[in-house]
A and B are shown apart, each in its own frame.
Chain A
Amino acid sequence: MVTFRVEVRYLPGVEDPEALTVKRNLKILGYDSVSGVSMARIYELTFEDGKDAHEKVEKLARNLLSNPVINSYTITETGD
Chain B
Amino acid sequence: MDNVAGYRKSVGIIGLTGSQLKDLSENMALGLNDDELRMLQNYFSDLNRNPTDIELQAMAQAWSEHCCYKSSKFYLKKYLSGLKTPYTILAMEDDAGVVEFDSDHSYVVKMESHNHPSAVEPYGGAATGVGGILRDVLCMGAQPVALLDSLYFGKPDETLAEGLSTRYIMNGIISGIRDYGNRVGIPTVAGSIDFGSSYAGMPLVNVGCVGIMKKESLSRSRISKIGDLLILAGGRTGRDGIHGVNFASKAMMGNTEESKRAIQLGNPIIKEPLIHAVLEANEAGLIDGMKDLGGGGLSSSAGEMCFAGGTSAEIDLSKVILKEDSMEPWEIWVSESQERMLMAVDPSNLSRISKIFELWDVEYSVIGTVKEGTNLVLKFYGEEILNLDLSFLTSGPMYCRNFVETKPSSNQYLMPPEPSDLNAFAVKFMSHYLNSSRFPVTRQYDHTVRGNTVVGPEQGYPNRETHSDCAIIKPVHSSFKGLGLTSGSLSRMVSIDPYNGTMHTMCEAFRNLLSAGVTPHAVVDSLNFGNPEDPEIMGQFVSSVRAIGDFCRRFSLPIVAGNVSLYNQSMGKNIHPTPTIMMTGIIEDVRNYVPSFFTSSDRDVYVLGEPQTNLGGSAYLEYLGMDAKSIAPLDLRELEKITPVLKGLQERGIVEACHDVSQGGLFASLCEMSFGNQVGIRGDISWISGERSVHKLFAEGGNRFVVQIQRKNEEEFLKQIEGIHHTFIGTTEGDRIVIADHGREIINAGILEIMKPWENGLEEYF
| Chain A interface (Cβ < 8 Å from any Cβ of B) | 12-15, 17, 21, 24, 67-70
Contacts and interface: CB of A to CB of B under 8 A. Distances in A.
Interface size range on B against A: 10 to 19
Contacts of B323: 13-15
Nearest to A70: B265
14 contacts: A13-B238, A13-B240, A13-B323, A14-B265, A15-B238, A15-B267, A21-B269, A67-B121, A67-B124, A68-B260, A69-B121, A69-B263, A69-B265, A70-B124
A14 B260 CA distance: 13
Contacts of B120: 69
Contact of B236 (A15, A17, A68, A69): A15
Nearest to B324: A13
Given A67-B121, A69-B124, A13 B267 contact: no
Given A68-B260, A69-B260, A15 B121 contact: no
A68 B263 CA distance: 11
A1 B529 CA distance: 53
B331 to A, nearest CB: 10
B239 interface: yes
B240 A14 contact: yes
Given A67-B124, A70-B124, 6 more contacts: A14-B238, A15-B267, A17-B270, A69-B120, A69-B121, A69-B265
B260 A15 contact: no
Given A67-B121, A69-B121, A69-B124, A13 B263 contact: no
Q: Top 4 A-B pairs ranked by shortest CB distance?
A: A13-B324, A17-B269, A13-B238, A69-B121
Interface string B96-136: 00000000000000000000000011011000000000000
Nearest to B120: A69
A14 B263 CA distance: 12
Contacts of A70: 124, 265
Interface in B323-374: 323-324, 361
A57 to B, nearest CB: 21
Contacts of B361: 24
A21 B273 CA distance: 14
Contact of A13 (B123, B235, B239, B260): B239
Contacts of A13: 238-240, 323-324
Contact of A12 (B236, B267, B324): B324
A17 B265 contact: no
A72 B565 CA distance: 32
Interface string B235-250: 1101110000000000
B586 to A, nearest CB: 38
A69 B264 CA distance: 9
Contacts of A21: 269
Nearest to B338: A15
A19 B269 CA distance: 12
B171 to A, nearest CB: 13
Nearest to A18: B269
A17 B267 contact: yes
A72 to B, nearest CB: 13
Interface string B216-257: 000000000000000000011011100000000000000000
A12 B121 CA distance: 18
Residue among A14, A67, A69 with most chain B CB within 10 A: A69
Residue among B235, B269, B361 with most chain A CB within 10 A: B269
Nearest to B323: A13
Contacts of B121: 67, 69
Contacts of B124: 67, 69-70
A17 B270 CA distance: 8
Contacts of B260: 68-69
A21 B269 CA distance: 10
Interface in B246-301: 260, 263, 265, 267, 269-270
Contacts of A14: 238, 240, 265, 323
Contacts of B265: 14-15, 69-70
A17 B361 CA distance: 14
Interface in B295-316: none
A70 B265 CA distance: 8
A69 B241 CA distance: 11
A58 to B, nearest CB: 17
Contacts of B267: 15, 17
B122 to A, nearest CB: 10
A70 B120 CA distance: 13
Nearest to B269: A17
A1 to B, nearest CB: 31
A78 B1 CA distance: 48
A71 to B, nearest CB: 11
Interface in B375-406: none
Contacts of A15: 235-236, 238, 265, 267, 323
A15 B323 CA distance: 7
Contacts of B324: 12-13
A70 B264 CA distance: 10
A32 to B, nearest CB: 17
A54 B37 CA distance: 48
Residue among A12, A14, A15, A21 with most chain B CB within 10 A: A15
B265 to A, nearest CB: 6
A26 to B, nearest CB: 15
A9 B76 CA distance: 46
A13 B263 CA distance: 13
A17 to B, nearest CB: 5
B52 to A, nearest CB: 24
Contacts of B236: 15
A3 B274 CA distance: 45
Residue among A13, A24, A68 with most chain B CB within 10 A: A13
Nearest to B261: A69
Contacts of A17: 267, 269-270
A12 B240 CA distance: 11
A21 B268 CA distance: 13
Interface string B444-471: 0000000000000000000000000000
